[in-house]
Structure 1
């Protein structure tokens, strides 16, 4: 891969009462030999947090992302964003909601302007945002609302050895089953295959599709979704040139030998994707949004309010999210350069 100099990565604030600030501080301490990044956050909050956790992290406010790379080895660059109310670990405050949302919006604007290579989002607490009028189920849907495009953003979860894409996401299970459609499966498969080629360097990605019902529905005896919805969608994907297998019973799809036969799995609902991934590698899971005109990753865990401020939070998932975002950005930049040369 040709050497390309990229702008730094933009890391959002996340829930101020959660562990986002702590894992960002620890990432700078323990992982700054990797991708360079800057935070969009409240410098005063981070300084106080570093002191309370006895973390030797010098916080440096910056005027723009362009200042981050040169200073990154010596200080943690922070693009200032004022919270407007004191922050206490483990105690969410709806007064912080506007700043949390603004952090994401500013990151999107910077990456769209080419001033950041990608966005890495710290975990948000949706309940707190809902109390302040936020209407989106999560990062994926909110980011989709900030851009205009023909594709629907979809969620991929990744850890070493497994990538999963839930076709239905933040829905009650009964509603997820009712809203499962062949069109949704085909769209998810098409977007996933394209992303695996462009952003993960796989020339001919292999997809597996999970069944919805136990034992794959057993020929319609315990559910007909496989016959009426999923199998026809698989055939449509094949007709479009996607290398795909399934529907396969989910209880035999995630063991070590099975995982060698595909590059990603399309799962029919949220927990069908989340449970195997978090079981295989809870600490290094990465949440990736596909179908956006820019790159977005984030740790695949929540705000962990119960341990916020204790110093016990692991930065492994944020480091993995930064590494993944940087690798995707390099591949995308290389592809754009090859296209320009051609």
Structure 2
């Protein structure tokens, strides 16, 4: 069976996306796992190859896919933009660059939905530049949810030692308590369980965190644990999901990082991402669960201060591609062919 096609979006041309993609795909151990197809800008990728200090030759593919046996040292590129030099100055995001990022993402989603690609792996974008181009989304996750018609989705950050999923994502901290509802907690637990069961760990064991310090200390520090989180956990357990909690975040991560749980369901962004990035700052992967397609991503930003220097780590980009290839190899949603239809 042919190796799966992985659509790789170039990300912000003013950031480190092009060079970390070049560094990742120049590694034969990474590129050989699948058939990478970069969606981006030729000049930006040529500059990224130079910055990364690797030997890759670009072959443009307009409407076609990488061959079943990709040639070593070749980067297959679908050119979706032809940006001016002024729109690719390192560290200076522009509306043109933001619009190009938007088009890369849309094309990757289309390829996955139509079965031409088995998964997509995304390099970082600048949300401000994308919004300045008229595309008003907080980030990749919300855009992909709209493109795929997905109402319930979950952000997961993952590494070898820890996986975390989020009940709320990019929200002001003051708004979080009102957004932590019974329905949202239960939905996050369900999607985490279903996705991990399919791709990562059969019958996963989940830890569900409290919102307040010390699980609310019997109501002294808040009542969300008894009113919302505990009932949602009990409902999940009645469905056969192995979920424990509410558990206090100040102690739980020690046990999760030691292998006691397959994932931790967190109530808000920093509750999960601080410990995840402490352990997996370089090699963490962002995975969007609940979509009808596979999407992985780096778990860092555009790193404008490093763009063009060749000093940016490609570890997260490599890990995102490896994870996408591994998930796609299991007959992922959106993948065409007999394997997908039999699942």
For the superposition of Structure 1 and Structure 2, which TM-score range results when normalised by the shorter chain? over 0.9
For 1:160, the equivalent position in structure 2 comes to 160
Residue deviations 1:176-232 (CA, integer Å, cap 9, x gap): 1221101000001111111111122x2211111011111111111111111111111
For 1:277, the equivalent position in structure 2 comes to 276
Name the SS of the counterpart of 2:59 in structure 1.
Answer: strand
Q: CA-atom RMSD, angstroms?
A: 2.1
Q: 2:9 touches 2:39 (CA, 8 Å); kept in 1?
A: yes
Name the SS of the counterpart of 2:48 in structure 1.
Answer: helix
Flag structure 1 segments of 5+ consecutive residues without an equivalent.
none
Is 1:29 the counterpart of 2:30? The answer is no
The separation in 2 between residues aligned to 1:48 and 1:84, in whole angstroms, is 13
Q: 2:2 touches 2:68 (CA, 8 Å); kept in 1?
A: no
Report the more deviating stretch, 90-99 or 211-220. 90-99
Task: Give the 5 Å matches for 1:241-320.
Answer: 241-256=240-255, 259-320=258-319
Aligned residues: 337
CA separation of 1:231/1:203 partners in 2, compared to 1, >3 Å: closer, same or farther? same
Is 1:138 the counterpart of 2:139? The answer is yes
The separation in 2 between residues aligned to 1:308 and 1:73, in whole angstroms, is 26
Name the SS of the counterpart of 2:66 in structure 1.
Answer: helix
For 2:186, the equivalent position in structure 1 comes to 186
The separation in 1 between residues aligned to 2:309 and 2:196, in whole angstroms, is 38
The separation in 2 between residues aligned to 1:117 and 1:340, in whole angstroms, is 13
- Alpha-carbon shift at residue 257 of structure 1 (Å): 6.3
The separation in 2 between residues aligned to 1:257 and 1:169, in whole angstroms, is 21
The separation in 2 between residues aligned to 1:333 and 1:119, in whole angstroms, is 11
For 1:124, the equivalent position in structure 2 comes to 125
Name the SS of the counterpart of 1:209 in structure 2.
Answer: strand
- Alpha-carbon shift at residue 106 of structure 1 (Å): 0.5
TM-score by length of 2: 0.92
The separation in 2 between residues aligned to 1:187 and 1:122, in whole angstroms, is 28
CA separation of 1:261/1:49 partners in 2, compared to 1, >3 Å: closer, same or farther? closer
Name the SS of the counterpart of 2:331 in structure 1.
Answer: helix
Flag structure 2 segments of 5+ consecutive residues without an equivalent.
none
For 1:15, the equivalent position in structure 2 comes to 12
